């Protein structure tokens, strides 16, 4: 099996989660890092115990003919240009969510991809988070019958952990000229992708999005999706408890997932955070309940996503979160704001 040579562009906070999966994979090697701050890339190379080439210029970085694949971990407003340039250099591309900022950009990416032989996907760690993987297997096996409701709760709070964010992590996120939305666009992408993964494509959206002084903070907010060609709804609620500490090794947020079917219910009791002292996954069928004590460390989803990307390249197999899936999720993310702004239900084409 070929050892895939990988380059990482963007060495900020999120790289601490995305990169370990590549470092652990014997079928790939990180040969280059790119960041506008040379010192930051150099610091990461020391942290990860590697000796890559270091670039501060993106065009020089992607011109490296030795590199097979790129993981893009840069701000969303840079994604479209960087994806297209990377595909034109015949690199396989994995890009941190969200896909981009507009549907026009998504169409340009797809046009470039259709003319390329490269693989492309959006990195989505939730699809590889072990409790969500197990829930998907249970749903597909018919363990709870036909799903008719998925509820996702996202809670923001305080955190006392040592997970370090860069000083500029949220600067661009708070700029409405660079980011089409706040928390429901950036973090909400995870939940929209997970909903589509578990239930199927979304056909209609009704949403209420709160606006606060902090552009990122869009709590409290609530969205309801109708699943295409199914009698199933998805409810996603965003709330905050700014004075409450949330147990988490990572960001100060916590999630809870409930999938209700005709014959039972599945609970996923954690993801980013660990607020509840419950098994990570529980299934209830009448008088019977089954608890699954499985790996629930949030970083495991990032590692799984990295392994899947390398495996897809090596085996020339289909890839998760491809351009069509990702464009659909983009339509949902933008549709949430359209619904809230117009006070109308939005239909996804």
> Is 50 in the same domain as 168?
no
Which of the four pLDDT bands, split at 50, 70 and 90, describes residue 292?
very high
Q: Which residue has the higher pLDDT, 160 or 340?
A: 340
Interval 248-285: pLDDT, tens: 989 889 999 999 999 999 999 999 999 999 999 999 99
Rg of the Cα atoms in the chain: 20
Please enumerate, as own/partner, the contacts of 216-223 that have beta carbons within 8 Å and a separation of 24 or more.
216/170, 216/173, 216/174, 216/182, 216/183, 216/186, 217/156, 217/182, 217/183, 218/181, 218/182, 218/183, 218/184, 219/156, 219/183, 221/184, 221/340, 223/184, 223/336, 223/339
Query: Predicted confidence band at 23 (pLDDT cuts at 50, 70, 90)?
Result: very high
CB 94 within 8 A of CB 70: yes
With cut-offs at 50, 70 and 90, classify the pLDDT of residue 242: very high
- pLDDT category at 66 given cuts 50, 70, 90 is very high
Assess whether 168 and 49 both reside in one domain: no
Residue 321 included in any domain = no
User: Do 83 and 202 sit in the same domain of this protein?
Assistant: no
pLDDT at residue 99 tops 60: yes
The verdict on residue 306 lying in a domain is no
How many structural domains does the chain have?
2
Q: What is the spatial distance between Cα 307 and Cα 296, in angstroms, rounded to a whole number?
A: 17
34 and 89 co-located in one domain: yes
Per-residue pLDDT tens over the stretch 102-115: 999 999 999 999 99
Does residue 28 sit within a domain?
yes
Same domain, 165 and 207: yes
For residue 26, the enclosing domain spans 4-124
Contact 197, 325 (CB under 8 A): no
> Is residue 189 within 8 Å of residue 179, measured between CB atoms?
no
The whole model's pTM is what? Answer: 0.95
Give mean pLDDT, residues 5-16.
96
CATH classification of the domain holding 44: 3.40.50.720
| Domain end among 124, 148, 170 | 124
Does residue 54 share a domain with residue 86?
yes
Residues 221 and 271 in one domain: yes
Helix axes 299-315, 130-140, angle to 10 degrees: 70
Q: Is the pLDDT of residue 218 over 60?
A: yes
State residue 200's pLDDT score. Answer: 97
pLDDT at 275: 92
Q: Kind of pairing, strands 233-245 and 53-55?
A: unpaired
Quick check: is 308 in a domain? Answer: no
**Same domain membership, residue 120 and residue 193:** no
Strand-pairing partners, residue 254, are: 155
pLDDT at residue number 169: 72
Burial (CB < 10 A; 0-12, 13-18, 19+), residue 161, is middle
Domain match, 85 and 135 both: no
Residue 326 lies in a domain: no
Is there a single domain that holds both residue 223 and residue 287?
A: yes
Residue 284 lies in a domain: yes
The tokens describing 29, both together, are: 């090697």
Per-residue confidence (pLDDT) for residue 174, from 0 to 100: 83
Whether residue 247 lies inside any domain: the answer is: yes
Torsion sign over Cα 160, 178, 185, 344: positive
The domain boundary, picked from 97, 124, 151, lies at 124
Q: Which of 83, 105, 124 is the last residue of a domain?
A: 124
| pLDDT tens, position by position, 277-287 | 999 999 999 88
Is the bond leading into 185 cis (omega within 30 degrees of zero)? no
Within a domain: residue 45?
A: yes
CATH number at residue 274: 3.30.360.10
pLDDT given for residue 171 in this prediction? 79
Q: Which residue has the higher pLDDT, 179 or 345?
A: 345
Check residue 286 and give its pLDDT: 85
On whether both 109 and 203 belong to a single domain, the answer is no
pLDDT of amino acid 100: 97
| pLDDT tens-digit series, residues 128-180 | 999 999 999 999 999 999 999 999 999 999 876 656 666 667 777 888 888 88
CA atoms within a 13 Å half-sphere pointing along the CA-CB vector of 107: 4
- Do 100 and 177 belong to one domain? no
């Amino acid at each position: 099996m070929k050892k895939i040579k990988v380059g990482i562009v963007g060495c900020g906070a999120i790289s601490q989660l995305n990169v370990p999966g590549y470092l652990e994979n014997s079928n790939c090697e990180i040969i280059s890092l790119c960041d506008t701050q040379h010192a930051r890339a150099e610091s990461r190379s020391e942290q990860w115990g590697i000796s890559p080439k270091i670039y501060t210029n993106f065009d020089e970085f992607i011109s490296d003919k030795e590199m097979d694949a790129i993981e893009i971990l840069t701000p969303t407003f840079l994604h479209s240009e960087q994806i297209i340039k990377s595909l034109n250099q015949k690199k396989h591309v994995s890009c941190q969510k969200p896909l981009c900022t507009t549907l026009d950009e998504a169409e340009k990416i797809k046009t470039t991809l259709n003319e390329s032989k490269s693989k492309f996907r959006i990195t989505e760690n939730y699809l590889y988070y072990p409790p969500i993987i197990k829930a998907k297997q249970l749903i597909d096996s018919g363990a709870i019958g036909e799903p008719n409701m998925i509820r996702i709760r996202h809670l923001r709070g305080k955190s006392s952990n040592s997970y370090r964010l860069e000083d500029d992590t949220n600067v661009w996120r708070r700029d409405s000229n660079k980011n089409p939305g706040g928390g429901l666009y950036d973090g909400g992408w995870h939940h929209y992708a997970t909903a589509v993964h578990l239930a199927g494509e979304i056909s209609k959206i009704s949403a209420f999005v709160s606006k606060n002084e902090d552009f990122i903070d869009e709590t409290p907010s609530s969205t309801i999706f109708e699943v295409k060609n199914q009698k199933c709804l998805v409810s996603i609620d965003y709330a905050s408890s700014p004075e409450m500490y949330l147990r988490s090794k990572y960001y100060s947020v916590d999630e809870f997932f409930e999938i209700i079917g005709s014959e039972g219910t599945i609970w996923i009791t954690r993801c980013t955070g660990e607020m509840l002292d419950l098994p990570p996954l529980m299934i209830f069928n009448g008088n019977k309940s089954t608890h699954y004590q499985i790996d629930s460390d949030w970083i495991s989803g990032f590692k799984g996503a990295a392994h899947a990307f390398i495996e897809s390249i090596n085996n020339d197999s289909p890839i998760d979160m491809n351009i069509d899936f990702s464009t659909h999720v983009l339509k949902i993310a933008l549709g949430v704001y359209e619904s809230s702004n117009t006070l109308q239900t939005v239909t996804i084409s």
